[in-house]
Amino acid sequence: MQLRYSFRLYPTAGQRAALARAFGCARVVYNDALRAREGARREGMPFPKTGDLSKTLITEAKQTPERAWLGEVSAVVLQQSLRDLDTAYKNFFDALKGKRPRMGAPRYKSRKDTRQAVRFTANARWSITPGHKLRLPKIGDLKVKWSRVLPSRPSTVSVVQDSAGRYFASFVVDTDGSEILPETTVAIGIDLGLTHFAILSDGRKIDSPRFLRRAEKRLKKTQRDLSRKTKGSSNRGKARLKVARAHARVADARREFHHQLSTKLIRENQAVAVEDLAVKGLARTRLAKSVHDAGWSAFVTMLEYKAARYGRTFVRIGRFEPTSQVCSVCGVKDGPKPLHVRTWTCGACGAVLDRDVNAAVNVAQAAGLAATACGAQVRRAPVPAQRSEAGTHPKQPARVVWEQAGIPGL
């Protein structure tokens, strides 16, 4: 599988200017190619191929006075910009065919976009110097903050400038099965929430850090200062950077929390099961800010790819599974309950259940892991009839009485 490793870059003033030229040239080629293809579509002409666009918009354009400055950057950066446009069109057409979630047609890039990126492949002959710097063609040797060792030789590197003005080198590496963890017999189900970020089927509860809520006071001040600045002024640009950096600190802290927790769960358990939550629907409710602050989708994505990387089993159960309505002890469905009900007593077996832990156990059982709150392996036992329903009405078949008692599967 392919993995992406990002490291912080610290370019000098001259290197920042060279990167800005690379960002601008890649953006111009992308927009020129998009304009050419949209023009051909409106006129009913054949769709221009990437090879023809490369010859016209890069090779021949460099010979003209209007686009002579394209020669100041690596040609690989411009070629990869055309590949990005191909990918954008492919994703758009796949969405129309129903092969992927709905998305819009490719749009023109703006020089005012707060995020810029260029990509270098092996053809660009980039390298890592003996002094552990990143050498890029027509940019120079960039200082890198190496936080870990790459598992293999990277195939490509992308230089990204985020909205906070920071630079990152993003490497794509191929990994094999050498990182498979030793097998274990422990399996776990996870119920995600807001009060507690994750509730595990073994009874553990991980509190939600609420990074955005804790930083609201600082964000409120920086955003208020930004609103008071004149549009187009230098002070407004500085204020915008302060807001972006405040949001970046929140996002970094949340991402670090997700990485640490997902790695811990994958290392400790052979199989992990989670529920497929309707995040988009929950984000349209009054809990939208808390839902976005939790970042469930990013956490589940980390669990999924880390399970594949380390040889673990990852199961995602359907979102319509009644995990909060079924007793995890006897399996009887007791119906929906208001959110303020955190503990309830099963009417069939009399077990007192914690709502969240019960849901986590049901997630594990629905995934076929059958993990209980104490970690033991269990199976659903036959459910005895209640005392009031022990006898069968003479005019009703036994199946009708069982259904009235709420006993499923009979």
Contact 154, 6 (CB under 8 A): no
Taking the CB of residue 356, how many other CB atoms lie within 10 A of it?
22
- Which one is catalytic: 84, 275, 293, 304? 275
275 tagged catalytic: yes
- Which one is catalytic: 84, 202, 293, 356? 356
Q: Pull the structure tokens for residue 256.
A: 């670090």
Taking the CB of residue 165, how many other CB atoms lie within 10 A of it?
13
- Which one is catalytic: 191, 293, 304, 334? 191
Q: Is 2 exposed, middle or buried (0-12, 13-18, 19+ CB in 10 A)?
A: exposed
Number of helical H runs and strand E runs in the chain? 11, 14
- The C-alpha atoms of residue 410 and residue 391 are separated, in whole angstroms, by 16
321 tagged catalytic: no
* Inter-helix orientation angle 296-310/234-268, to 10°: 50
Q: Is 178 exposed, middle or buried (0-12, 13-18, 19+ CB in 10 A)?
A: exposed
- The C-alpha atoms of residue 191 and residue 285 are separated, in whole angstroms, by 20
Taking the CB of residue 404, how many other CB atoms lie within 10 A of it?
11
Task: Tell me which residues are annotated as active site.
Answer: 191, 275, 356
